[in-house]
């Protein structure tokens, strides 16, 4: 059966999980042109949301992450997913009649750029079929992040209370710049990186939250972590900082060294299989359900797998960051994600921007 020919009974994700057990011994995980062998894969360790605070903090410090099952209400997350894809009605992103479940419409991948692709190429909307691409890009970057239910989900009381227990911070601060990502089957996956690369203007104590907005099974291209990679990333960053000093870079040049204008996409590597083997570490993988959240350290090395979902389901997720309000914050991240209007000069579009304009864009997860 074609990946996009589905029975109507599969139209929407149910109130119960659709995740199925996967034999990791037979899984070859793909990311762009890289394939990770089964022997180099390992499942995430799952964490209960009611784990005592001292055990929770010890686990996060040791592993660099916690995968918390069912922290957010499932119905809340699925409602955001439905609203998101309804917003893109008419763009061809979803198959007609399957917007509630986010089934890909099967068009050309170039017409549905990822955040990384838009961030790399200021002239993307001036290329072939620019009317569609400019409309899509504005929905992708601007309008979608203003959805009230999405903003409420990122600030959900259950999530905030958990962050407080995990960190002990007084009123954790959510950075305004969040990044929602609809990765269609076969789209370019995100390369190997760690988040401190993007946050050199602030204290590294911030915590990234990756929220799957809908169920994501292993073939669907979820987030993956390099096991025991905190010390590796710190060493990479330390070597870069020493090199920056040796080159005589100013503070501004050092902060923007891998992230000029908040638009570049700094990776440690694009081939995650080679990177893992080079550093003798396995990649952590898992099935995700609506309501789960992955929280990780600024130095946790991670990437994404290519979405190979056999039913054509779009992998929708978002990246959010919480910070200690008593520490230095990278102020670049206190602006909403927006595309500068200059990117669309002379390009007709049927879609208007979703809010304030003019802040440069940055992509990362």
pLDDT tens, residue by residue, 84-107? 999 998 888 999 888 878 999 988
Digit-coded pLDDT (tens) for 209-246:
999 999 999 889 899 999 999 999 999 988 888 888 88
Least confident of 156-160, 210-214, 319-323, 343-347: 343-347
Question: Over 80: is that where the pLDDT of 146 sits?
Answer: yes
Residue with tokens 């309501």, as numbered in its chain: 291
Q: Which carries the bigger pLDDT value, residue 174 or residue 240?
A: 174
**Where in the chain does DSSP place strands (E)?**
29-31, 34-36, 41-43, 46-47, 65-68, 173-174, 179-183, 207-212, 223-226, 283-285, 293-296, 302-304, 315-323
Q: Are 16 and 108 in contact (CB under 8 A)?
A: no
pLDDT at 17: 55
Separation between Cα atoms, residue 245 and residue 238, nearest integer Å = 11
Domain 47-344 falls under CATH 3.30.830.10: no
Residues recorded for the chain: 365
First-to-last CA distance in the chain?
32
Question: Over 70: is that where the pLDDT of 184 sits?
Answer: yes
What are the boundaries of each domain within the chain? 47-344
Separation between Cα atoms, residue 84 and residue 64, nearest integer Å = 30
Give Rg (Cα) of the chain.
Answer: 20
Digit-coded pLDDT (tens) for 114-143:
777 766 665 554 554 455 567 788 888 888
Separation between Cα atoms, residue 285 and residue 295, nearest integer Å = 14
- pTM metric for this prediction: 0.85
Least confident of 32-41, 114-123, 137-146, 194-203: 114-123
Dihedral sign from CA coordinates of 118, 119, 120, 124: positive
pLDDT at 93: 92
Helices 157-167 and 53-63: crossing angle in degrees, nearest 10, is: 80
pLDDT at 37: 92
Please report which confidence band the pLDDT of residue 343 belongs to, taking 50, 70 and 90 as the band edges: low
């Amino acid at each position: 059966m074609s990946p996009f020919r589905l029975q109507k009974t599969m139209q929407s994700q149910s109130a119960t999980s659709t995740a199925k057990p996967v034999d990791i011994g037979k899984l070859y995980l793909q990311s762009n042109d890289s394939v990770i062998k089964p022997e180099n894969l390992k499942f995430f360790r799952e964490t209960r949301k009611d784990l005592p605070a001292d055990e929770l903090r010890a686990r996060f410090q040791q592993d660099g992450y916690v995968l918390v099952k069912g922290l957010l209400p499932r119905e809340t997350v699925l409602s955001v997913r439905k609203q998101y894809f309804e917003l893109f009605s008419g763009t061809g992103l979803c198959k007609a009649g399957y917007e509630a479940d986010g089934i890909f419409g099967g068009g050309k991948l170039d017409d549905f750029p990822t955040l990384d692709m838009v961030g790399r190429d200021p002239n993307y909307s001036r290329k072939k079929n620019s009317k569609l691409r400019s409309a899509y890009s504005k929905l992708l970057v601007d309008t979608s992040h203003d959805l009230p239910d999405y903003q409420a989900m990122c600030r959900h009381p259950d999530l905030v209370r958990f962050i407080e227990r995990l960190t002990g911070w007084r009123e954790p601060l959510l950075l305004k710049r969040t990044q929602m990502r609809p990765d269609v089957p076969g789209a370019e996956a995100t390369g190997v990186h760690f988040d401190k690369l993007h946050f050199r203007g602030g204290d590294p104590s911030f915590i990234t939250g990756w929220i799957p907005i809908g169920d994501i099974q292993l073939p669907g291209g979820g987030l993956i972590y390099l096991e025991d990679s905190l010390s590796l990333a710190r060493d990479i960053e330390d070597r870069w900082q020493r090199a920056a000093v040796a080159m005589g870079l100013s503070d501004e040049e050092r902060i923007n060294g891998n992230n000029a204008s908040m638009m570049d996409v700094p990776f440690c590597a694009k081939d995650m299989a080679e990177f893992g083997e080079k550093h003798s570490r396995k990649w952590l993988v898992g099935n995700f359900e609506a309501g789960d959240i992955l929280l990780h350290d600024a130095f946790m090395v991670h990437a994404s797998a290519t979405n190979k979902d056999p039913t054509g389901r779009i992998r929708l997720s978002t990246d959010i960051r919480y910070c200690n309000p008593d520490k230095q914050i990278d102020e670049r991240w206190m602006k909403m994600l927006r595309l500068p209007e200059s990117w669309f000069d002379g390009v007709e579009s049927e879609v208007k921007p979703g809010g304030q304009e003019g802040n440069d864009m940055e992509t990362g997860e």
